[in-house]
Amino acid sequence: MFDAVVLFREALYGALVIGLACSVIGVYVVLRRIVFVGAALAELSSAGIALALWLEGQSLMLGLATHPIALALILTIGGALFFGAGGGRGRIPPDATVGVTYAVAGAAGILLISKAAVGEAHDIFLAGNILGITRADTLVLLAVAIPVLVIHAVFYKEFLFVSFDRETARTLGYNINIWNLLLYFTLGVVIAFAMQSAGVMLVFNFLVLPAVTGLLVSRSMGGVFLWSVVSALVASLIGFTLSVRFDLPTSPAIIAVSGVAVLVAFLIRLAQRR
Amino acid sequence: MGDLVRFDGATLGYGRRVVLSDLTFAISEGDFLGMVGPNGAGKTTILRAILRTLKPLHGTITHTPNIRFGYVPQRDQVDYNFPLTVVDVVLMGRYDRIGLGRRPGERDRDLACKALQHVGILDLADQSLNLLSGGQKQRTLIARALVGEPNVLVLDEPTSGMDLVSTTQILGLVRQLHERNNLTVLMVSHALNEVANYVERIALVMNGGFRIGPVDEIMTQPVLSAMYGIPVDVDSFNGHRIVVARREGTTDANV
């Protein structure tokens, strides 16, 4: 079993980097109640990849298909900035706008990939292809994750303040729009790159479940971040190993372990209350 | 006493929608002002203009240089799902002084503890925010406003949803802060009976109208009846002013 894990070690490293980056940002995603923004951005990213592949089939934009990240980034960051700016505040409630984006982007991705000349299996978008991660992919993921994590470490108190009590932050001179956009921008960048390998389901998992585990276990922000990261990394490691050992699809195996972590955290919380 | 904030013919609103027009008044150093009116009358709009987060559509609003607000938001504006302790929240009042990307230091923590002591909940410093009672949460938010060393304390509906005991304690604390520390206080509320017995001046915001003056001048039957648009009676009980809407079929007790 160990040999098999070593064989796929580059994929494991990639999963760990994605888990690390998503589980940090996921704390804000869960606390700010924007989990479906994360899902909608993941769908936008998959629509971007599908669009690149479809365009290649039409011989319209050769080259983009080999770098589908370009279109995925444009759509995801565009969506992130749109939601960060309030998601078209007006008659339509923001969560409905998120829902429209999720449904339309998800459907568009599937439609485009079904007609793409280099069409891959549709479920790649849902389940991802985590075992296909190469060393180069991991290095790219690291190059994205490190600056994002540094931004979140340096501006922790600013992100915390505008997320916790935006009106008071505004009275103290914080430009709420700028900080929101920066937070959503980092979210969009991480999702766009993670989606290339991990797929909608696993990215959504890393954005939500580890943070929920952290919130159930810890009563401080530092503790929540720590437990979120630890549970994401441990779930990746165990899920990956189990998928190799029992010949299971990797992403669902990691998600299943994340789910068990949430359940254990919930039981711990229950025990603490008694 | 100099003016800290001055409105000169200011019209306030959002986009093309005018909420209140031609406002002219000032908040002076040492003032203890209550702004009262029903929900939707425009209190929050005036508050935002005072706090410089809303620019006037017309007219001018002048703030004295170096003015610093200590803002206490409505309790439900804060998200209690965040796993923060009381002292974590109080420290936020110093975030702008600490500077971008820097962490609170020992001095900031000392000041946070002093602010908590000031409002009487130092023993709760390490308590989780979401385990506090309504009154304790309000004291935490007041401590956060004080730790920034403001010259104007602004409270938005500080007693909303509180029981009689907590309401009395919070209003007593605010009055104490005004009297002992000579802090300028602006308190926004929809409850005239609560505010009128603590503040020195009242600004009434209702039905598109605005009137400001000393409590004795505002708390009269003609002024309040005109502002509310219904007949009201103003009475006094044990030194407390009470305003009640007159029931149909009854007449003016003073006639």
pLDDT tens for each residue of A195-233: 888 888 999 999 999 999 999 999 999 999 999 999 999
Say yes or no: B67 contacts chain A, CB-CB below 8 A.
Answer: no
Q: Alpha-carbon distance A129 to A109, whole Å? A: 16
**Facing A219 at nearest CB: one of B77, B128, B154:** B128
Q: In the predicted model, what is the mean pLDDT of residues B89-93? A: 97
Query: Cα(B87)–Cα(B80) distance, rounded to whole angstroms?
Result: 14
Nearest to B23 by CA among B33, B11, B13, B31: B11
In the predicted model, what is the mean pLDDT of chain A?
Answer: 89
Alpha helices in chain B (DSSP H): 43-50, 86-91, 95-98, 106-118, 134-147, 164-181, 192-195, 215-218, 221-228
What residues in A contact B77, CB-CB < 8 Å?
165, 167
Of the candidate ranges A5-9, A161-165, B10-14, B67-71, the one whose mean pLDDT is the lowest: A5-9
Rounded to the nearest angstrom, the minimum Cα separation between B145 and chain A is 9
pLDDT of residue A123: 55
Planar angle of CA B99, B102, B107, nearest 5 degrees: 80
Comparing A59 with B71, which gets the higher pLDDT? B71
* C-alpha pair distances (Å), B154 with each of A9, B33, B42, B117, B178: 57, 10, 16, 20, 12
Contact residues for A109 (Cβ-Cβ < 8 A; gap 6+): A43, A46, A47, A49, A50, A125
Across the interface, of B71, B92, B101, the residue whose CB is closest to A154 is B101
What residues of chain A lie within 8 A of the CB of B71, using their CB?
167-168, 171-172
Q: How far is Cα B121 from Cα B98, in angstroms, rounded to an integer?
A: 24
Give the mean pLDDT of A230-253.
93
By Cβ distance, the residue of B82, B98, B100 closest to A164 is: B82
Give the pLDDT confidence score for residue A129 in this predicted structure: 78
What is the DSSP secondary structure assignment for residue A202, as one 8-state letter?
H
Nearest Cβ partner for B103 among A157, A171, A173: A157
Which pLDDT band, with edges at 50, 70 and 90, does B83 fall under?
very high
Contact check, Cβ <8 Å, B83/A167? no
Phi, psi of A121 (to 5 degrees): -60, 140
pLDDT greater at residue A186 or residue A7: A186
B-chain residues within 8 Å CB-CB of A224?
Answer: 83
Do residues B5 and B63 make contact, with C-beta atoms less than 8 angstroms apart? Answer: yes
pLDDT (tens digit per residue) in A72-110: 899 999 999 999 887 766 678 888 999 999 999 999 988
Residues of A with Cβ-Cβ distance to B69 under 8 angstroms:
171
Amino acid A65: pLDDT: 55
Identify the pLDDT of residue A118: 62
> Can you read off the two tokens belonging to residue B96?
């702008």
DSSP string, B96-125: HHH-TT----HHHHHHHHHHHHHTT-GGGT
In this structure, the strands spanning B184-189 and B201-206 are unpaired
Would the pLDDT of A245 be above 60? yes
Residue B88 to residue A221, Cβ atoms within 8 A: yes
Q: Do β-strands B201-206 and B32-36 pair in parallel, antiparallel, or remain unpaired?
A: parallel
Is residue B241 within 8 Å of B196, Cβ to Cβ? yes
Looking at residue A16, what is its pLDDT?
95
What pLDDT score was predicted for residue B255? 43
Query: What pLDDT does residue B66 have?
Result: 87
Q: What pLDDT score does B237 carry?
A: 81
What are the tens digits of pLDDT across the range B216-237? 898 888 888 888 888 888 888 8
User: What ipTM goes with this model?
Assistant: 0.88
CA B40 to chain centre: 16
Q: Give the nearest chain B residue to A164 (CA atoms).
A: B79
Of A165, A223, A224, the CB nearest to B77: A165
Residue A168 has pLDDT above 90, yes or no: yes
Chain A nearest C-alpha distance from B120 (Å)? 22
Q: What is the pLDDT of residues A104-141, one digit of tens each?
A: 999 998 888 888 766 555 556 656 778 888 899 999 99
Digit-coded pLDDT (tens) for B168-185 = 889 998 999 899 888 999
d(CA A44, CA A103): 10
Contact criterion met (CB below 8 Å) for A10 and A132: no
Is the CB of residue B199 less than 8 Å from the CB of residue B33?
yes
- Per-residue model confidence (pLDDT) at position A64: 57
Mean pLDDT of chain B: 90
Residue A28 has pLDDT above 50, yes or no: yes
pLDDT at B121 over 50: yes
Please state, for a pLDDT cut of 90, what percent of chain B lies above it.
Answer: 58
The reply to whether B73 touches chain A by the CB within 8 Å rule is: yes
